[in-house]
Amino acid sequence: MREIGTSMGFCASSAGIFQMVGKFLSIIKIIIPVLLVVLGAIDILKAVISSDDKAIKNSVMTLLKRIIAGILVYFVPVFISGVFSLLPEFRENEDDYNVCRACITKPGGTNSDGTGCQDYVDLYSNKGEPKG
């Protein structure tokens, strides 16, 4: 059985996978605004060219729905953290969760403030316990 919150913990031992997920999410966070602008401009331009008031209204509503969906993507990690913090078992496994969170939110590796994915993995690998 693996120990939670140590170098043998689930998150520390699968940090590479969580880093890939974090890099994927970082790319998505760049692509979404670009797609919103491009697709919104195309839709509104088509509606304006057609001179149809109903088409303009529909394109603006579609753009608003896309913007709301784009904003929700940014709040998924906050929502997940909030749900986990409500669980009583979470406090027992919070150290391991910190490794997962660091690898997903800061997948680049190390940070100057010591909060990067590799910082947490090294911490658990070298000392076996998180700094308190």
| Mean pLDDT for the chain overall | 79
Question: In angstroms, what CA-CA distances link 55 with 40, 63, 73?
Answer: 13, 12, 27
Give the pLDDT of residue 42. 92
Give the pLDDT of residue 93. 72
CA-nearest of 127, 123, 93 to 15 is 123
Question: In angstroms, what CA-CA distances link 104 with 63, 71, 92, 99, 112?
Answer: 29, 18, 20, 9, 17
Q: What's this model's pTM, rounded to 2 decimal places?
A: 0.66
- Examine the pLDDT at 75 and tell me if it is beyond 80: yes
- Examine the pLDDT at 4 and tell me if it is beyond 70: no
Q: How far apart are CA 59 and CA 63, in angstroms?
A: 6
Confidence of residue 65 (pLDDT cuts 50, 70, 90): very high
Choice between 120 and 8, residue whose per-residue pLDDT is larger: 120
Confidence of residue 95 (pLDDT cuts 50, 70, 90): confident
Q: Write out pLDDT tens, residues 7-27.
A: 567 777 788 888 888 889 889
| Contacts of 81 by beta carbon, 8 Å cutoff, 6+ apart | 101
